[in-house]
C-alpha cells in the first residue's frame, strides 16, 4: 500500500474541498484511485493530510491551490517518491511549477524557438525564487513565503513563454500561408439562430457545429423531425460556413430520447436503435457536412448504465454505420475531461487517452480526435490550470498521430444561470467577461500555433437561451456581445479565412 504525506501552513491554502479534489498521477499524467484523509483535525495548524493508493510508485500530487494574481489553479508537484516523512506542500508545488517551466523552455529551444533576454531573465528569476525557498529552510514561514513567490514567478514566466512560443509559431505558419486552414467554430444547439446572432456569428467563426441531437430528431421512435436541422444547414451554406455534424452519440439526458430508457437493460436493442438513427441522419445530410463527430464523452458515465466494453462497442458500431453510409467525409470521436480527474474516484480500466489510442489502433477509419476543455466547471468539467499545462496536454494527445479538434468552455461569471443545465464551479478567483476573453484569447492562439490542432469549437453561443455550461457563451444573458466575441473576431481576421 503506497502512501504520500503532506503538510501546509493553513486551511486558507488547503481548504476541505481542496483535498476532495486532490489526486496522484503517474508519468503519463493518468490519475490513480486514492483514499485522501486528514491526519489532524481539520481546524489544526499546520494542515497535514495523506493520500493512499494500492500501488507503490513515484507520482505527482495534483491539488487546487490559491495563487495571488492567478486565483485557484490545479497545480502539480514534480515526481515524488514515497517516504514516511511528510512533504512541504508549498515547496513541492513550487518545484513542480519551475520544473515544468524549465523543461518546456528547453523543449521549445530544441525545436528552434528563440528565447529573448527578457524571457530568459524571467525564467532565471523564477528558478532563483525556488532556490530562495529551499535555502530558507528550516525557517518554515520564510520558506513558505518564498515558495509562494516562486510559484507566482514561475506561472508568470510560463505564461510569457507560451505567448512567445505562440507568436513565433504563428509567424512561422504564416510564412507558408496567409490564412491558416484551422476550423474556428461554435456550437449552435437545438434551436434556430436569430438574425442579429447570425451576423455576429459569421464575423467570428468560419465553422458551425450542428449537433443533430438524437433527442430532438427522434422524439418518438422511428419518427424523424428534420426541420430545425435542415434550417441550420441551409443557414450555414448561405453564410459560407463549414459544418461539423454531431456528436451523433452522447449518453446524457440532453441527447438521448426519453423512449430509449425503456430499453436501457437491453443493450442489443439500444445499439440497433442507435445505428438506425445514425443511418437516417447521415443519409440525409451527407455531402453537406464537412466533418462528422460520431460520438462524444463516451469515456465518462452517461445516464444509461453501460460497462466500458459496451460503450466501446457502441462507438465502434456508430463509426461503422456512419462509414457505411458516408465513406468520404472525415470522422472524429471526441473525449471529455482529458486530464481524467474522475479516475481518482472511479474504477476504470482505460483513461480517455488510452481509450482513444485503442480506437485509433483498431483501424476504424478515424480522421481525427476531439477533446473537451470545459474549464472551471464541476462536476463534469476540468479545473483551471496554468497555460503551460494546456500546451502539454495538447502535445500528449498529438502522439495519437491524428489531427485534433478542441471543444472549449470557459465561464464569464461564477453565478448560476437558469438557462444552463450544468453548474459552474465558483472558485475564489471569480471569473469576469474580461478574464474570460483574456484567457480564451491566449488559449485559442496557443492552439492555432499547433499545426496538429485543426479545429477549435466554442461550446456555447449564448447565455440567453437553453445551453449546457453556465455563462460560457460569447453572448451574454441579454444577448449582447461579450469581450470574448470581439477577441475571436480579431483572431479570425489575423489568422483565418
Residue 10 · residue 93 · CB < 8 Å? no
Residue 339 · residue 374 · CB < 8 Å? no
User: pLDDT 10s digit of each residue in the chain, 497 long?
Assistant: 578 888 888 767 777 788 888 899 987 788 888 888 887 665 666 778 888 877 778 889 999 998 988 988 999 999 998 888 888 999 999 999 999 999 999 999 999 999 999 999 999 999 999 999 999 888 777 888 999 999 999 999 999 999 999 999 999 999 999 999 999 999 998 788 888 888 899 999 999 999 999 999 999 988 999 999 999 999 999 999 999 999 999 998 889 999 998 888 889 999 999 999 999 999 999 999 999 999 999 988 778 888 889 999 999 999 999 999 999 999 999 999 999 988 887 766 788 999 999 999 999 999 999 999 999 888 778 999 999 999 999 999 999 999 999 999 999 988 888 887 876 565 556 889 999 999 999 999 999 999 999 999 999 999 988 888 889 999 998 889 999 999 999 999 999 98
3-state helix, strand, coil in the chain (%, to 5): 40, 20, 35
Helix (H, G, I), strand (E, B) or coil at 82: coil
What is the spatial distance between Cα 344 and Cα 440, in angstroms, rounded to a whole number? 28
pLDDT of residue 253: 86
Residue 12 CB neighbours (<10 A)? 10
| Extended strands (E) in 83-225 | 87-88, 183-187, 207-210
Q: Residues in the chain, how many?
A: 497
> What are the extents of the domains in the chain?
2-172, 179-495
CATH 3.30.530.20 for the 179-495 domain, yes or no? no
Place of cell 500546451: 391
What is the spatial distance between Cα 20 and Cα 254, in angstroms, rounded to a whole number? 28
What is the spatial distance between Cα 375 and Cα 71, in angstroms, rounded to a whole number? 14
User: pTM for the full model?
Assistant: 0.94
- All three cell numbers of 107, joined, read 523543449
β-bridge mates for residue 368, sequence order: 332
Residue 460 CB neighbours (<10 A)? 24
Residue 46 · residue 12 · CB < 8 Å? no
Judge if the upstream peptide bond of residue 379 is cis by omega within 30 degrees of 0.
Answer: yes
**207: closest CA among 235, 238, 183, 230?**
183
Amino acid at each position: 500500500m503506497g502512501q504520500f504525506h503532506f503538510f501546509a501552513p493553513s486551511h486558507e491554502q488547503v481548504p476541505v474541498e481542496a483535498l476532495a479534489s486532490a489526486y496522484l498521477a503517474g508519468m503519463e499524467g493518468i490519475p490513480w484511485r486514492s483514499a485522501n484523509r486528514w491526519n489532524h483535525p481539520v481546524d489544526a495548524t499546520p494542515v497535514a493530510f495523506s493520500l493512499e493508493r494500492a500501488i507503490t510508485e513515484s507520482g505527482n500530487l495534483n491539488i487546487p491551490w490559491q495563487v495571488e494574481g492567478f486565483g485557484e489553479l490545479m497545480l502539480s508537484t514534480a515526481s515524488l517518491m514515497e517516504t514516511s516523512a511528510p512533504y512541504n506542500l508549498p515547496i513541492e508545488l513550487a518545484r513542480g511549477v519551475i520544473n515544468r517551466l524549465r523543461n518546456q523552455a528547453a523543449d521549445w529551444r530544441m525545436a528552434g524557438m528563440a528565447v529573448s533576454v527578457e524571457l530568459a531573465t524571467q525564467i532565471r528569476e523564477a528558478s532563483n525564487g525556488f532556490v530562495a525557498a529551499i535555502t530558507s529552510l528550516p525557517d518554515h514561514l520564510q520558506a513558505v513565503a518564498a515558495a509562494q513567490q516562486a510559484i507566482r514567478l514561475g506561472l508568470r514566466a510560463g505564461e510569457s513563454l507560451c505567448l512567445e512560443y505562440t507568436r513565433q509559431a504563428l509567424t512561422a505558419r504564416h510564412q507558408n500561408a496567409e490564412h491558416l486552414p484551422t476550423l474556428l467554430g461554435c456550437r449552435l444547439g437545438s434551436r434556430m439562430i436569430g438574425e442579429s446572432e447570425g451576423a455576429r456569428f459569421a464575423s467570428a467563426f468560419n465553422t458551425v457545429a450542428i449537433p443533430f441531437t438524437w433527442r430532438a430528431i427522434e422524439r418518438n421512435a422511428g419518427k424523424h423531425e428534420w426541420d430545425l436541422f435542415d434550417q441550420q444547414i441551409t443557414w450555414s451554406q448561405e453564410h459560407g460556413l463549414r459544418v461539423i455534424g454531431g456528436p451523433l452519440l452522447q449518453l446524457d439526458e440532453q441527447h438521448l430520447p426519453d423512449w430509449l430508457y425503456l430499453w436501457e437493460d437491453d443493450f442489443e436493442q439500444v445499439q440497433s436503435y442507435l445505428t438506425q438513427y445514425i443511418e437516417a441522419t447521415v443519409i440525409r445530410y451527407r455531402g453537406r457536412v464537412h466533418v462528422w463527430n460520431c460520438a462524444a464523452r463516451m469515456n465518462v458515465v452517461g445516464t444509461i448504465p453501460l460497462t466500458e466494453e459496451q460503450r466501446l462497442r457502441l462507438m465502434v458500431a456508430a463509426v461503422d454505420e456512419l462509414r457505411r453510409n458516408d465513406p468520404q467525409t472525415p470522422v472524429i470521436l471526441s473525449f471529455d475531461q482529458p486530464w481524467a480527474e474522475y479516475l481518482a474516484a472511479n474504477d476504470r480500466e482505460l483513461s480517455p487517452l488510452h481509450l482513444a489510442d485503442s480506437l485509433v489502433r483498431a483501424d476504424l477509419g478515424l480522421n481525427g480526435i476531439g477533446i473537451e476543455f470545459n474549464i472551471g466547471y464541476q462536476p463534469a468539467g476540468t479545473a483551471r490550470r496554468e497555460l503551460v499545462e494546456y500546451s502539454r496536454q495538447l502535445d500528449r494527445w498529438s502522439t495519437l498521430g491524428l489531427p485534433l479538434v478542441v471543444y472549449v468552455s470557459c465561464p464569464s461569471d461564477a453565478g448560476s444561470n437558469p438557462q444552463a443545465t450544468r453548474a459552474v464551479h465558483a472558485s475564489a478567483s471569480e471569473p469576469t467577461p474580461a478574464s474570460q476573453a483574456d484567457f480564451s484569447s491566449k488559449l485559442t492562439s496557443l492552439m492555432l500555433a499547433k499545426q496538429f490542432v485543426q479545429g477549435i469549437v466554442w461550446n456555447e453561443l449564448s447565455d440567453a437561451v437553453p445551453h449546457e455550461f453556465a455563462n460560457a457563451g460569447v453572448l451574454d444573458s441579454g444577448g449582447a456581445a461579450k469581450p470574448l466575441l470581439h477577441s475571436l473576431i480579431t483572431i479570425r481576421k489575423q489568422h483565418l479565412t
